[in-house]
Amino acid sequence: MATKLRVGHVIDTLDPAAGGPPGVVLHLAAAQRAAGMEPMIITQRRAGREAAIEAFIDGIQGAREVRVVDAPSGKVAGVMGEAGELDVLHLHGMWDGILRAAAAWGRGAGVRYVLRPAGMLEPWSLSRGRLKKWVALRTTHRALVRGAAVMHATAEAEGQQFKRLGIAAPVAVVPNGVDVDAHLTETDDAAIVARWPELAGKKRVLFLSRVHEKKGLMPLAQAWGRICKEVDDWQLVIAGGGDAGYRAKVEAAFAEAGAAGRTTFTGAIDAGLRPHVYAACDLFVLPTFSENFGVVVAEAMASGLAAITTVGAPWSVLEECECGWWIDIGVEPLRRALMAGIGLDDDERRAMGMRGRECVREMYAWGAIVERLGEVYGGVLGAGESERPGSCM
């Protein structure tokens, strides 16, 4: 494969408020550029969010060096035609108009594409607006899926879901990556406490993700309320942006559970501050209903935190590497896991965290992920008549 493979990543937005996909795309493109490829990102600007997006890009090492092209709605094909020659497209998401427009351009221009739905075809996600999404899969989005040279899953379970949906394209299972070195930071605890004084003198459980109904914050409120009656030296940190109306409902749930004073809502955390927030905490929890990957779990592990997540996320490795808890969805399993983590002494938690960090370094380093995707792209480009994309199911 040519060392200067030209990859066009297409995503609706790079706004960090959109959750994990923008960060994944920026990290991936930066890592590909460092490996000698020529990635570019085709996206759409969000009015009023320019400063947040620019700060987000600046917080990711190497991302500023990646070319970003704005493709306004209705002008995607024209922008892509003028952006320069591309060898392969990598589409991130499912329902956004920019993806359909980019796919149509690719089919017309003879540029094949890899489609990464980013969890949007998972059963939980499809159950929200179910009828509308099923109709779309059979009408407006049918060509998008049928035209994919490869479906990119980030875990085996997501790949199996593609097959259950009857998608005929080959599936490449390649996880998202994590920059382990970026999470080796020492935190300035005094600065963290100055910002959130209620954290002074407390051990800390961290939830870092979007404040969204999928993330399991309502069960967490109930579980944490029960724990607060048994433990008085731990504080829960809810770090993440989201819809203001839903955040108000979550805050009310914690208040009703008697845990308002023991819960800190930080709001959105920018990319530069994220490693410091991880480093300032003692235990991580993501009580999600559904994730195709859950990159925050990998980030927590890279930060040396023992982690808790549910079977709604593909993280059985937490148990396999003895670095956390992979639990059933529900209040009581969550309460038990949190109490187990809280009940460990500092050395025991630290040892779990170090096992997690080594696991991430071995399995999810960006260099290895870029190499595996390079094999997938090579197959898409037809490196040989009988060659299938690498790492396929």
Question: Which pLDDT does position 392 carry in this prediction?
Answer: 53
d(CA 278, CA 136): 39
Using 50, 70 and 90 to split pLDDT, how confident is the model at 297?
very high
Domain that holds residue 194: 180-363
Contact between 37 and 2 (Cβ < 8 Å)? no
Query: Same structural domain for residues 69 and 194?
Result: no
Alpha-carbon dihedral of residues 68, 73, 77, 80, nearest 10 degrees?
0
Rounded to 10°, the helix 217-228/244-256 angle is 30
Question: Which pLDDT does position 181 carry in this prediction?
Answer: 87
Query: Same structural domain for residues 70 and 95?
Result: yes
d(CA 256, CA 141): 42
Distance separating the N- and C-terminal Cα atoms of the chain:
22
d(CA 276, CA 287): 22
Query: Same structural domain for residues 240 and 196?
Result: yes
Q: Give this prediction's pTM.
A: 0.87
Q: What phi-psi label fits residue 204: left (phi over 0), alpha (psi between -120 and 50 degrees) or beta?
A: beta
Tokens of 75: 């002008």
Least confident of 11-15, 259-263, 290-294, 382-386: 382-386
Query: Same structural domain for residues 207 and 136?
Result: no
Query: Same structural domain for residues 144 and 289?
Result: no
Average pLDDT estimate for 21-28? 96
Give me the percent of the chain exceeding a pLDDT of 70: 96
Average pLDDT estimate for 14-18? 91
Exposed/middle/buried for 205, CB within 10 Å: 0-12, 13-18, 19+? Answer: buried
Question: Which pLDDT does position 73 carry in this prediction?
Answer: 85
Identify whether 219 is part of a domain.
yes
Query: 41-60, pLDDT tens digit by residue?
Result: 999 998 899 999 999 999 89
Kindly report the CATH number assigned to the domain that includes residue 205.
Answer: 3.40.50.2000
Query: Same structural domain for residues 17 and 107?
Result: yes
Q: Enter the DSSP assignment of 392.
A: B
Q: What is the DSSP string of 199-252?
A: GTT-EEEEEES-B-GGG-HHHHHHHHHHHHTT-SSEEEEEE--B-HHHHHHHHH
Query: Same structural domain for residues 28 and 146?
Result: yes
Query: Same structural domain for residues 19 and 107?
Result: yes
Using 50, 70 and 90 to split pLDDT, how confident is the model at 385?
very low
- What's the number of CA atoms in the CB half-sphere (13 Å) around residue 344? 20
Residue found by looking up tokens 């704005």 in the block: 70
**Residue of higher predicted confidence among 239 and 393:** 239
Query: Same structural domain for residues 247 and 272?
Result: yes
Identify the H or E element spanning 283: strand 283-286
Query: Same structural domain for residues 198 and 212?
Result: yes
Question: Which pLDDT does position 32 carry in this prediction?
Answer: 97
d(CA 378, CA 87): 10
Query: Same structural domain for residues 167 and 204?
Result: no
